[in-house]
C-alpha cells in the first residue's frame, strides 16, 4: 500500500451528533479504495449532489482509543459508501471541465477488529474532493471510528485518486453535459488526530 505524506481528507463527520462518551485519541490508516458513481448531469457549474459512490476499501487501522485501549482493525473489501452532498465543475479552456470539487460523508462498515477483542467497528468522516484533470485529492476528517463497546478513535488525513469516466464512451463537455458513470480509485494515508 502506498503512503501519502500529507493530510487525508474527504470526509467530514460531526462527532458531537454521535454522542461518543469517551474522547477519541487517534488511529493511523493505510489503504486503498475503489468506488463507482453515477452523476445525472456532468459537468455542471451550478452544482449537483445527492449521489453515492459505492465500492470497497482495503485498509489497516491502528492506534489507540479514547479509553487508552490498543486499536487494530482491518478493512478487507469492506463496503464503502461515499455520499456526495454537492459537486460542481469549472468550465474553462473552451468546453472542457478541467477542475472540479465535491464534498460529502464517507462511511465504512464491517471492519474486522483484532484488538480490542470481541468488538465490531465502523468508520465515518466528512470529505472534500478537489480534481484537476483526471487526478483528485481527497481530504478526510475529522472522522470517527466507532467500536461496538462504545469506545471511539479519531482520524483525519489525505488521499490521491484517479477519476475515470466509464460511460459514455464519448466524453461529456460543458457544451454537451449529461449523465455519466465514473470510477474513482485511490490510495490513502490517514493520520490519527484527537477529536
List the domain range (segments joined by +) for residue 179: 15-191
In a domain? residue 31: yes
Number of domains in the chain: 1
In a domain? residue 80: yes
In a domain? residue 88: yes
In a domain? residue 149: yes
pTM: 0.79
Q: How far apart are CA 54 and CA 36, in angstroms?
A: 5
In a domain? residue 8: no
In a domain? residue 9: no
In a domain? residue 26: yes
In a domain? residue 36: yes
Q: How far apart are CA 8 and CA 138, in angstroms?
A: 6
Q: What is the pLDDT of residues 16-42, one digit of tens each?
A: 222 333 334 566 667 889 999 999 989
Residue with cell 485501549: 69
Report residue 36 as a C-alpha cell. Answer: 463507482
Q: What is the pLDDT of residues 72-112, one digit of tens each?
A: 988 889 999 999 999 999 887 667 888 999 999 999 988 99
Amino acid at each position: 500500500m502506498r503512503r501519502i505524506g500529507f493530510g487525508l481528507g474527504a470526509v467530514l463527520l460531526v462527532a458531537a451528533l454521535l454522542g461518543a462518551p469517551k474522547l477519541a485519541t487517534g488511529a493511523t490508516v493505510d489503504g486503498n479504495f475503489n468506488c463507482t458513481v453515477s452523476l445525472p448531469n456532468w459537468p455542471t457549474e451550478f452544482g449537483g449532489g445527492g449521489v453515492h459512490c459505492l465500492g470497497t476499501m482495503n485498509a489497516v487501522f491502528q492506534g489507540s482509543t479514547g479509553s487508552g485501549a490498543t486499536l487494530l482493525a482491518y478493512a478487507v473489501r469492506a463496503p464503502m459508501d461515499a455520499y456526495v452532498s454537492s459537486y460542481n465543475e469549472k468550465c474553462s479552456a473552451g468546453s472542457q471541465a478541467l477542475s472540479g470539487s465535491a464534498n460529502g460523508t464517507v462511511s465504512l462498515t464491517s471492519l474486522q477488529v483484532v484488538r480490542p477483542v470481541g468488538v465490531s467497528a465502523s468508520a465515518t468522516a466528512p470529505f472534500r474532493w478537489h480534481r484537476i484533470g483526471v487526478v483528485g485529492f481527497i481530504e478526510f476528517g475529522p472522522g470517527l471510528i466507532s467500536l461496538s463497546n462504545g469506545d471511539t478513535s479519531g482520524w483525519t488525513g489525505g488521499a490521491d485518486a484517479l477519476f475515470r469516466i466509464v460511460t459514455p464512451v464519448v466524453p461529456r463537455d460543458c457544451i454537451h453535459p449529461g449523465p455519466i458513470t465514473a470510477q474513482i480509485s485511490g490510495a490513502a494515508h490517514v493520520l490519527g488526530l484527537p477529536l
